[in-house]
Chain A
Amino acid sequence: MTDPILRAVHVEKTFAPPQHGGAGVQAVRSVDLEVQRGEFVALTGSSGSGKSTLLHMLGGITRPTAGSVWLEGVDLAALDDAKLAVLRRRRIGFVFQRYNLLPELSLEENVALPLVLDGVAGTAASAAARVALEKVGMAHRASHSPDALSGGEQQRGAIARALVAAPALVLADEPTGALDSVNSRLVVELLHRLVEEQGQTVVLVTHDPGIAAAAGRAIRMADGRIVSDIVRAESRVAAGSPTP
Chain B
Amino acid sequence: MIFESFRLRHLLLRQWRNRPGRALATALSVAVAVGAVVATWVSADASRIGYRRLTEALDGTPSIDISARAGGRFDVGKLPKLADISGVRAVVPLFFRPTLLRVGEKRVREIAVGVDAQTLAETGLLKLTSGTACVGPDETVLGAALAEGLGKSVGDEVLFFARRGVRRLTVTGIADPASLRWFADGAGVVVDIQALEQMSNALGLVDRVRVALEPNASRPDVLEAAGQRLPETLVAEIPAGRASMAEDVLHSADLGLDFVTGLTVAMAWFIVGNAMLMNVTERRRSLSLVRVLGASAGQIRGFITIEAALLGTLGALVGAGLGLAAARPISAGISRALQAPFSEMVVEPLIVPLAVLMGTLVAIAAAWWPAREAAQIDPLEGLSQAPAPANNQVSWRLLGAAFALWAFAALMLLLVLAERVPPRAAVPAGIAMLLSFVALTPLILPLLARGCACLVPRRFALEGRLALEQILRQPVRTALTTGVLVVAVSNGIGLGHAIRDNVDDVLGWYARMMRADWFLTHAGMVATGQAHAQGSLEAEADLRELSGIARIEVIGIAMGKVAGGAGVIVARDMPDDAPLPLAPVGMEESAVRAALARGEAVAGTVLARRAGIKAGDDVSVEVFGRKTSVRVAALVVDYTSGGASLVMRRDTAKRLFGLESADVLLVTAAEGQADALRAALEKIADRRGMLLRSAVDVRKFIDGIVGGVVGSLWAILGLGFAVGSLGVANTVTMNVLEKKHTIGLLRAVGMTSRQVTAMVVLESLLLGASGAIIGLVSGLVTALFIQWASQPLLGHPIRASFRPSVVVANLLAAVVVTGLAAWLPARRAATIDLLEAVSAE
Contacts and interface: CB of A to CB of B under 8 A. Distances in A.
A85 interface: yes
Interface string A61-88: 1100000000000000000011001111
Specify which of B386, B473, B747, B752 lies most central, judged by the most chain A CB atoms within 10 Å of its CB. B752
Interface stretch (B580-588, B597-605, B831-839): B831-839
A53 to B, nearest CB: 8
Given A86-B750, A88-B749, A117-B462, A61 B838 contact: yes
A99 B387 contact: yes
Q: Give chain A's interface secondary structure class.
A: helix
A117 B835 contact: no
A105 interface: yes
Interface stretch (A1-9, A90-98, A134-142, A213-221): A90-98
Interface of A: 52, 56, 59, 61-62, 81-82, 85-90, 94, 96-100, 102-105, 113-114, 116-118, 122, 147, 161
B54 to A, nearest CB: 55
Nearest to B469: A104
A86 B834 contact: no
Given A62-B834, A98-B840, A82 B753 contact: yes
Nearest to A165: B750
Interface residues of B, number: 29
B473 to A, nearest CB: 6
Contacts, number: 80
B755 A96 contact: no
Nearest to B750: A89
A81 B389 CA distance: 32
Contacts of B840: 96-99
B750 A88 contact: yes
CB-CB nearest 5 A-B residue pairs:
A89-B750, A104-B469, A85-B752, A88-B750, A82-B752
A58 B834 CA distance: 14
B385 interface: yes
Interface of B: 385-387, 389-390, 461-462, 466, 469-470, 473, 741-742, 745-755, 834-835, 838-840
A17 to B, nearest CB: 16
A62 B386 contact: no
Given A61-B838, A99-B840, A102-B746, A147 B753 contact: no
Specify which of B389, B745, B747 lies most central, judged by the most chain A CB atoms within 10 Å of its CB. B745
Contact of B749 (A56, A81, A89, A147): A89
B750 A117 contact: yes
Given A61-B838, A100-B745, A105 B752 contact: no
B749 A105 contact: no
A129 to B, nearest CB: 13
Given A62-B834, A99-B840, A114 B749 contact: yes
Contacts of B839: 52
A85 B750 contact: yes
Contacts of B754: 82
Contacts of B461: 116, 122
13 contacts: A56-B835, A81-B753, A82-B753, A85-B750, A86-B752, A88-B749, A96-B840, A98-B385, A102-B745, A113-B749, A114-B749, A116-B461, A117-B749
A104 to B, nearest CB: 4
A64 to B, nearest CB: 12
A105 B469 contact: yes
B753 A88 contact: no
Contacts of B741: 99
Nearest to A13: B835
B694 to A, nearest CB: 67
A90 B749 CA distance: 9
A36 B745 CA distance: 27
A161 B750 CA distance: 12
A90 B751 CA distance: 11
A114 B835 CA distance: 19
A98 B753 CA distance: 23
A10 B645 CA distance: 96
B742 A104 contact: yes
